[in-house]
Amino acid sequence: MEKTSRIYVAGHRGLVGGAILRRLQAEGYTGLITRTSRELDLRDQAAVRAFFAQERPEFVFLAAAKVGGILANSTYPAQFLYDNLMIAANVIHASHEHGVRKLLNLGSSCIYPRLAPQPLREEYLLTGPLEETNRAYAVAKIAAIELCDHYRAQYGSDFISAMPTNLYGPGDNFDLQGSHVLPALLRKMIEAKEAHAPQVEVWGSGTPLREFLYVDDLADASLFLMERVSEAGPINVGTGQDLSIRDLAQVIADAVGYTGALVFDASKPDGTPRKLMDVSRLRALGWEASTSLHDGVARTLAWYLAHRAEALAAH
Ligand code: GDP
């Protein structure tokens, strides 16, 4: 990418797209193209086509998606499947039709089979049944990888796919029904501290293991992949380290300074028992995550405290 290249960041208001946009701006890229979902509904094929014909992006970061935590995913599976299939099909096909030079498709670690060996290697894709609580979302994300790979095979398109592990950071969704675990616990602990509440509720058993990547690290990996990598198949992006939800809750309590009790609500789902990424492929290509969980949580906490009204109004 040259500094003046026409670069479309799809989903720039989201956690991932926002981080990629900030990074591109910081690096002095001037040809950045964005649209809010109100301005351009990516599920609308004709609108997407017209947008590509008009703007003629040369590079595309496909970070637009309908996303949510375990409850939202299992409550609205039809929307998660339809919205994400349409967004992927429309953006990837329009990129092909309009001669996009390179596209980076962003997915998720939930594409891998629920009981795949750990850590998750890229070749485990489509080797077993998916986790039920996010199957709809995962199927759409798998379809997007397949689209990129088949357009590469049939048309020679330079479309690549990155699969980040669980992400967090500035701009995350802090809505307690829709969000992922890290922002949810951060908000719950802050509010419990302020209210002098004796306990905070943590969903599930606390035993599932999860890996967390700070979103600015994903933005860094995304630029790295866009610049240097051209391969079929998913490429895992993670830290290679995980911890239990119980330990995560403690890390967050320490960061917030909350000293009350943690109470586990077994009526809420645990989801997949573990999803740790094998990141050796990306490491061999020359990239590693650099932000520790401790630092990332501290930065996210500081951001949330400074932007609380904005964060809560956004979702
Ligand atoms: P997942 O990685 O797709 O399962 O998505 P989540 O980030 O939503 O959930 C990860 C784990 O954290 C699951 O075992 C949840 O039950 C657990 N968890 C604990 N407390 C919370 C909470 O307040 N919100 C969410 N979303 N998950 C929670």
Full set of structural domains in the chain with CATH: 7-170+213-240+275-291 (3.40.50.720)
Whose alpha carbon is nearest atom 18 of ligand 1? 203
Position 314 scores a pLDDT of 86
Using the mean position of ligand 1's atoms as its centre, give its distance from the Cα of residue 298 in Å.
Answer: 20
107 labeled part of a ligand binding site: yes
Residues with CB under 6 A from ligand 1: 69-70, 110, 134, 166, 179-181, 184-185, 202-204, 208, 210, 245, 268-271
Whose alpha carbon is nearest atom 19 of ligand 1? 203
Whose alpha carbon is nearest atom 25 of ligand 1? 181
Residues 6-24: what's their mean pLDDT?
Answer: 98
Global pTM?
0.96
Using the mean position of ligand 1's atoms as its centre, give its distance from the Cα of residue 312 in Å.
Answer: 19
- How many residues are present in the chain? 315
For 15-75, strand residue ranges (E) read 32-33, 59-62
CA of 166, closest atom in ligand 1:
2
Using the mean position of ligand 1's atoms as its centre, give its distance from the Cα of residue 243 in Å.
Answer: 13
**What is the DSSP track for 116-173?**
--SSBPGGGTTSSPPPGGGHHHHHHHHHHHHHHHHHHHHH---EEEEEE-EEE-TT--
Q: How confident is the model at residue 315 (pLDDT cuts 50, 70, 90)?
A: confident
Position 7 scores a pLDDT of 98
Question: With pLDDT > 70 as the criterion, what percentage of the chain qualifies?
Answer: 100
Q: Catalytic positions, please?
A: 137
CA dist 39 and 175 (Å) reads 24
Helix (H) or strand (E) segment spanning residue 103: strand 102-106
Residues 43-51: what's their mean pLDDT?
Answer: 98
What Rg do the C-alpha atoms of the chain give, in angstroms? 19
Could you report the per-residue pLDDT of 52-69, keeping only the tens digit for each?
999 999 999 999 999 998
Position 185 scores a pLDDT of 98
Using the mean position of ligand 1's atoms as its centre, give its distance from the Cα of residue 202 in Å.
Answer: 8
Locus of tokens 């079929």? 232
Residues 219-248: what's their mean pLDDT?
Answer: 98
15 labeled part of a ligand binding site: yes
